[in-house]
Structure 1
């Protein structure tokens, strides 16, 4: 170690690494891992979440995201943890574009209708292009995120493949949120969410809410607390992978060992004893290796169950580096995110369920 330090001080250059090739190799590794599952089980179930899903980063970190700062993905875990433009003066606007959803929907429509789309179908294609809008000032953020997929859809339709839009409008949520920065160390946040869930042969649309607080005791540590209130007709709409229960308090802590990494720990439901998830521990890790590459991992175990959940993920192409300094977000915004969650059964030592998640979001 001392030899390396002396060499660095003398100005000896490190060998150059072809980052683009390395990023491609890492991406292909994760995709191959997710596609084949290393041959652990021939009876495994695969789910492909790829239409309109901003929660890839949190779920790649085991769902331990209550105390993690970031972009619009944070509002579904703790709206008080949102941090786009920080304390920059003036009013800022951000529009998030999802090119995948309209392209996939258009493809499915043209395949089933011989290339002819009705006016309603064209409207569905156009409205899926806009993922969200945020208005930000030095003290508050106000915005909306539309058409966020619910994982219930994949529990009911096991045969869905990548970019399959079948029954998409039957399982999604739209969220309005506010984030208030009281000080550098304290923030509050709240959301109102409309859940659209297929109940019987009709889509039920009900409201839910969440309220959070975010604290920064020191520059390296964050603490988050969030209360989740889900609709009465669909109280289990956030239980799959996210493990959120209705009317429960959830807490989290995050810590940065270095500037480029983040360790997170969440405890689901510390308030209600009669729920499925009670004091359930989730842990996560994110490490930025280069400017355009981040790797993630996580773990949690269901209480009173042999099932364990392991997660892996990557983020590619930091869009901040293509924006002017005044328009850069406080945290890296990766263009493409891939994550995989494996439900591993401890009894027979096999992977039973594989969740593959992809998101592609642009910001204007």
Structure 2
């Protein structure tokens, strides 16, 4: 190897020196360097001057301003801070891999860079080897995908915001239908046939109202309209109010409904009782829906957490277990998706919107917890979650509470 008067490095090989395998391997390496599409250049480690580059680099970056050799490395970059950072790291002996915009004859383009120290075979000095792979097209594709993702999220947020804003307008007429049909049913002037028809209309309106409420709750959560309310409440009252509307359903199906609050769980807690009750009603109602015989059990205890409860906060564990139809592992992976149930035949047989568990998962998430599921087809399912709640200073444990309905 030798240097030209303008400081460029030229590699020369004499034909009679290529007798050994090592020499042939070196020649093949040099040929590969000359023909690769990767831009390869060698720079002085301390000066930043260009010492050598392959044809791909020459075609991409054009002629370098030889009058200022100290700026040759930095002038490659669209942003000067990138060159200074890379040079410092290589001077410390590190290999630097990062993406950066380089100035090319076609304008700034993104490149994946690999810069590392190496020994100059001519002088024995330590120099910097730079490999640059053009990734501008990849970056453009990533930017397009990101823009599409942001547009989709904006559209979804707009939809959720619209539904959340329409909450009052949608519920008001349905409440009117429910109220009027209930008044008519209280009349003594109806024939049996009229009462049956009005009763069917009333039940249909109640079912539609349930669907509307589920849709609006999901929309509010997605639009960020739900804020947890931190108020003092009775856990016993919250559980009782959750079970009350479901007793008729469990009695009608002959399902045993058990509720147990373990010793050591305080009754007076601080949190959003309304949302906790909504979670319980959805989980217990879901368990009753998919259980034909046996029982549904609700158990509330203090979580067996690695971190001790603080002076003003504890973690509560709630588990709802049933002896229902159960689910496969694949079905468990789908049940928290909106409008999805474990199987299409389940929707036809049991009905529902497939939103109940979506609401549960998102409300539990807002309360700082996560829902876990264990299930076996034909045996039953168990849904559990842990949430953090405040508790009052007196810290008196609630008595063991057991409730049972059949």
Length-normalised TM-score, structure 2: 0.17
| Highest RCO, 1 vs 2 (Cα 8 Å, sep ≥ 6) | 1
Point out the structure with the larger strand share.
Answer: 1
Point out the structure with the larger helix share.
Answer: 2
Length-normalised TM-score, structure 1: 0.19
